[in-house]
């Protein structure tokens, strides 16, 4: 076996939002580095497609809607002790504040903030996080420069960034690390579901110093760094991966 501090050999990693985009890429790339995956998402067909692309043996697929407490509980029941958790599932939302309705608040907060908090709490309570394990939350760069219409999304992403630091602080004595990743715009189905035309997206990509949006695997590789022993002294950190967009 050649030297590789980024190896995930022997690690079991739980990834939410693995039926699409960044979560799918994260699961696939983790499997290439030797991890055993437990993947979840709502759409069973797309989750199955991810599952079929995983390398190696012993992976588990379990579908569920993380807005439902019952679904979270039944997913958690199927977990074995974990070396890594990637709370990545999330939905976008673009609405001026005056048009926000209660059910949208529940949906966006439920998917992006409340479910990762409940999952983390349950994993800690049920002692499903091994000593030396690593938790990663997918946040965003959106809330670093607030734009009109993004209040709900940006608020959930700011909150999950800070929740990550509290987890890092509380769990450090157990040698459990926690960090967040902050992608700029990444080529996934999510960005094509928003209010932007394809022409507007093309224009937006030119604003990035590297003149393009990210690819899902470029976020997966950052997540792999945080899951692996290569980041064993990194906790409570917010890792920006954005083609230079927010550099000062
Ligand atoms: P995506 O392709 O739309 O994938 C989102 C994933 O989250 C899907 O697997 C989806 O499941 C899952 N999901 C959403 N709500 C869920 C719920 N209530 N229960 C269970 N699963 C749920 O989007 P993506 O771009 O990969 O986004 C992944 C994460 O990155 C999100 O948290 C997003 O906010 C964040 N992010 C994305 C970008 C970007 O530009 N793409 C930038 C910054 C941050 P189903 O498809 O099966 O319903």
Question: pLDDT tens digits, residue range 9-20?
Answer: 999 999 999 999
pLDDT digits (tens, 9 = 90+) for 75-100: 999 999 999 999 999 999 999 999 99
For residue 154, report the phi and psi dihedrals to the nearest 5 degrees.
Answer: -60, -40
Residue nearest to atom 9 of ligand 1 (CA): 17
Q: How far is the CA of 218 from the centre of ligand 1 (A)?
A: 16
In this structure, the residues whose C-beta lies within 6 A of any atom of ligand 1 are 17, 19-23, 41-43, 46, 65-67, 88-91, 111, 138, 140, 183, 185-186, 188-191
Distances in Å between the alpha carbon of 223 and those of 29, 150, 201?
10, 25, 25
Q: Whose CA is nearest to atom 22 of ligand 1?
A: 89
Could you write out the DSSP letters of every residue in 66-86? TT-HHHHHHHHHTPPPEEEEE
The Cα–Cα gap between 192 and 197 comes to: 8
The alpha carbon of 219 and the centre of ligand 1 are apart by a number of angstroms equal to 13
Rounded to two decimals, the pTM is: 0.98
* Digit-coded pLDDT (tens) for 188-238: 999 998 778 999 999 999 999 999 999 999 999 999 999 999 999 999 999
Give dist(CA 69, CA 205) in Å, integer: 38
Q: Of the candidates 137, 52, 42, 129, which has an alpha carbon nearest to the alpha carbon of residue 86? A: 137
How far apart, in whole angstroms, are the C-alpha atoms of residue 175 and residue 178? Answer: 10
Pocket probe for ligand 1: among 16, 17, 87, 140, the residue whose CB has the most ligand atoms within 8 Å is 17
């Amino acid at each position: 076996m050649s030297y590789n501090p980024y190896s995930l050999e022997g690690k079991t990693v739980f990834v939410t939002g693995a039926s699409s985009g960044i979560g799918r890429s994260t699961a696939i790339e983790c499997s290439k580095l030797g991890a055993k995956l437990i993947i979840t998402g709502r759409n069973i067909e797309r989750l199955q497609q991810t599952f079929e692309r995983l390398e190696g043996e012993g992976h588990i697929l379990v579908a569920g809607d993380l807005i439902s407490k019952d679904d979270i509980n039944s997913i958690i029941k199927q977990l074995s002790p974990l070396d890594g958790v990637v709370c990545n599932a999330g939905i976008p939302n673009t609405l001026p504040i005056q048009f926000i309705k209660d059910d949208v608040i529940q949906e966006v907060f439920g998917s992006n903030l409340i479910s990762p908090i409940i999952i983390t709490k349950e994993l800690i309570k049920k002692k499903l996080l091994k000593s030396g394990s690593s938790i990663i939350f997918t946040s965003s760069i959106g809330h670093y420069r607030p734009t009109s219409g993004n209040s709900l999304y940006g608020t959930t992403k700011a909150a999950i960034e800070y929740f990550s630091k509290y987890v890092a602080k509380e769990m450090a004595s157990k040698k459990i690390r926690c960090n967040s990743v902050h992608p700029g715009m990444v080529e996934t189905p999510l960005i094509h579901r928003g209010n932007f035309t394809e022409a507007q997206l093309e224009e937006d990509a030119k604003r990035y110093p590297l003149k393009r949006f990210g690819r899902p695997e470029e976020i997966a590789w950052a997540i792999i760094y945080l899951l692996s022993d290569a980041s064993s002294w990194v906790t409570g950190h917010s890792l920006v991966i954005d083609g230079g967009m927010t550099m000062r």
